[in-house]
Structure 1
C-alpha cells in the first residue's frame, strides 16, 4: 500500500528507525529465494519428449484425471451441496445403491421431511417461485452456511486458518503463503484472478507449494478517495472468495488496526501467526517446516516503490529480502525494466517473481465505483454476491472522487 496515504506520513530518513520496529530476521524462515528452475535442475534432457501419462493418474471412477497443481488444493467437501438421492452413479462405475448411500438417504429424509412440512405450512407470500423460501435465497457465489465471519473488533479477532494446509503434500517442495494487501473497494474478478495467475507461475517456475492465500484489506486510516468502511470491504472479500475459491481467505487484522499499518508489518503479522505461533507446517514425516510469506502486488504498487521519499529503504529490504514479492504486470507496463533500474529491487531480484498476464484484464475498483455512481451495470466485473451486497448497503452511489483519481486508475 502507498505509504503517502497514511495520516501521519513523513518522508523516510536513513537515520530514523522504523516505528513500530520490524520483526527480527531470526523469526522469519530461511527458505531461499523464489528462483526459476535452471537446466541443472532437470534429470534428463530439456528436449526430451513429454509423456502425458506421466502427469495423469486414474481416478476411482476409471477416468483419467490431471494431477496439475490446481488439484492440490481441493474444494472442501463440507462446502459443497449434498448430492440428491435421485442422482444415479451407475455412469460413474459404482452400484446405484450401496449401504452407505442408503444410510445417507435415510438421514437426508429425516432432516428434510420436517423442513418440507414447515414449508407447506407457510403463507404463499413467503414462497419464491414454488420451491424456495425468501430466507433461503442465495446465488451460487454466496458464502456457505457455517463459515465464521471475520471479527468486527480487534478484541474478538482470530486468525483465519480454515483453508490453510496443515500438511505439505509434495515432499520435494517448500511451503508458501501468498498475501495481497490493498483497499479492495470493491474486490473485483481481477483481484481473484491475480491469485490464480500467481498459483500457475509458482507451480511452473519455482520449487514452492502454495499452502494458502490471504486478502488483507487496509484499515479506514488509509486516506484514499472511494474507500468504503473497513467492515464492508472485509465482508465483500469474504463473499468473493469463500464461495468462488477453495484456498483463499480474508484476514481482518490489518483492517482492525487503530492506525495505518505498513506493508512490512502486515507481512510480519502473517509470519508471526503462521510460523511463530503455529510452528509452520508439517511434512509427511511429521517434521515442521517454516512457511515462506510473499506479497502479491500489481505493477503500479511496485512502481510506487521507486518514487523518492515514499517507501523507507529498511521496509523495502525487509519486504523484498526477508519475504519476497510476486508482481502481476498490468497492461502496458514494463516491470522487468523497472526492476533493472531500481537498486534495492535489483539487489533482491531472485526473491521477486514477475507474472505476465496471458489474458489481459484491466478491471479496476476505480472503474467499478464510477460505473455504480453513473447507474451503469457492473455485472461480470465482480461476483454476484458482491454486487448484491453493494446494492443492499448503498455503497459508492453518493460518493465523489477527484478526476485525477478516476482517470489515473492506479489500484
Structure 2
C-alpha cells in the first residue's frame, strides 16, 4: 500500500533577539521546498525562544522576546509561538525541546482520536487548529535551522553524540543553507550525519538574505534604520522600551 506524504511541524529554536523577517522567511522557504519534494506536508510551525539562562551576550529578557515574537507572528496563519522553553527552571537542550513538542502533539492526536480532551489549553496554544480539530497522525516535529547550526555539530564539546543522534535520527532536520555554502560536504565528513542523511533536508535560499540579529542590534545601537528588516510593530516595541541600546522613537 502506498504511503501518503509525511505530516511535518517545523520547530525553530534560538534567541530571536530580536525576531527578524528572515526568521519568518525560513518557515516559508522550508515549507515550499518540502511541498515540492512531494513526500511531506507541512501542517504547522513553532517558534521556541531560548531561556534567559542561555546567557548569550545582549540577550534581552524572555518577556520582551516573547512579546516581540507575538507581534511578528500576528498575521501569520500557520506558525505559532511556544513559550514552554522560557518557562522552564533553566536552559534546555534542543533535543528536550523537540521531544516535549513531539510528545504534546502526540497527546493531542491521541485525544482527538479517542474523543476526549483534557490537555491544558495554555500548554498547547502553539498547536495549529487543524491538528486540534481532528487531524489524523502521525505528525513529525522536525528542527528547522540555518546552515550554521548544522556546522556547529562539528564543534568539539558543543553537542553530545547522543543529542545529535536523537535530533537527526529521531526527529530530522530541515537546513536553510546559504547559496555559497556546502552542507553536503559537511555531512559527508561526519559519520554520524551520513548515517542519518535521509533525515536531513537541505534547502538552498537562492534569494540572498543576510539579515542577522547581531547586525540589527548593532544598527539599533547606532540609531540606524532597521525598517524592512524587522516587522514594524517589533521596531516600535524596541524603541518604546529602548532595547538593544536604541534611542530612536520612530521607524
State TM-score, norm by structure 1.
Answer: 0.53
Is 1:346 matched up with 2:161?
no
Tell me the equivalent position of 1:257: 88
- Deviation, structure 1 residue 279: 2.2
Instruction: List gaps (5 residues or longer) in structure 1.
Output: 1-40, 42-170, 399-411
| Match 1:246 to one of 58, 73, 77 | 77
Tell me the equivalent position of 1:211: 43
Tell me the equivalent position of 2:215: 367
DSSP-derived class of the 2:53 partner: coil
Cα distance change, pair 184–343 in 1 and its aligned pair in 2 (3 A): same
C-alpha distance after superposition, 1:275-318 (max 9, x if no partner) = 134428779xx784221110000011111101122111111110
| Match 1:188 to one of 4, 15, 20 | 20
1:292 and 1:258 mapped to 2: Cα distance? 27
Q: Is the 8 A contact 1:293 1:323 kept in 2?
A: yes
Q: Is the 8 A contact 1:189 1:381 kept in 2?
A: yes
C-alpha distance after superposition, 1:24-62 (max 9, x if no partner) = xxxxxxxxxxxxxxxxx9xxxxxxxxxxxxxxxxxxxxx
Q: Is the 8 A contact 1:280 1:291 kept in 2?
A: no
1:326 and 1:235 mapped to 2: Cα distance? 26
Tell me the equivalent position of 1:307: 155
- Deviation, structure 1 residue 209: 1.0
- Deviation, structure 1 residue 224: 0.9
Higher relative helix content? 2
Cα distance change, pair 327–280 in 1 and its aligned pair in 2 (3 A): farther
1:308 and 1:260 mapped to 2: Cα distance? 20
DSSP-derived class of the 1:339 partner: helix
Q: Is the 8 A contact 1:280 1:289 kept in 2?
A: no
- Deviation, structure 1 residue 246: 1.2
Higher relative strand content? 2
Tell me the equivalent position of 1:58: none
Is 1:232 matched up with 2:67?
no
2:236 and 2:135 mapped to 1: Cα distance? 45
Cα distance change, pair 214–308 in 1 and its aligned pair in 2 (3 A): same
Tell me the equivalent position of 1:271: 102
* Larger gyration radius, structure 1 or structure 2: 1
Tell me the equivalent position of 1:198: 30
| Match 2:165 to one of 302, 317, 322 | 317
Q: Is the 8 A contact 1:182 1:217 kept in 2?
A: yes
1:239 and 1:303 mapped to 2: Cα distance? 31
The size of the alignment, in residue pairs, is 227
Cα distance change, pair 287–240 in 1 and its aligned pair in 2 (3 A): closer
List aligned pairs for 1:57-76, cutoff 5 A: none
Q: Choose 354-363 or 327-336, whichever is displaced more.
A: 327-336
| Match 1:394 to one of 204, 220, 242 | 242
- Deviation, structure 1 residue 186: 0.3
State TM-score, norm by structure 2.
Answer: 0.85
Cα distance change, pair 376–306 in 1 and its aligned pair in 2 (3 A): same
Tell me the equivalent position of 2:124: none
Tell me the equivalent position of 1:71: none
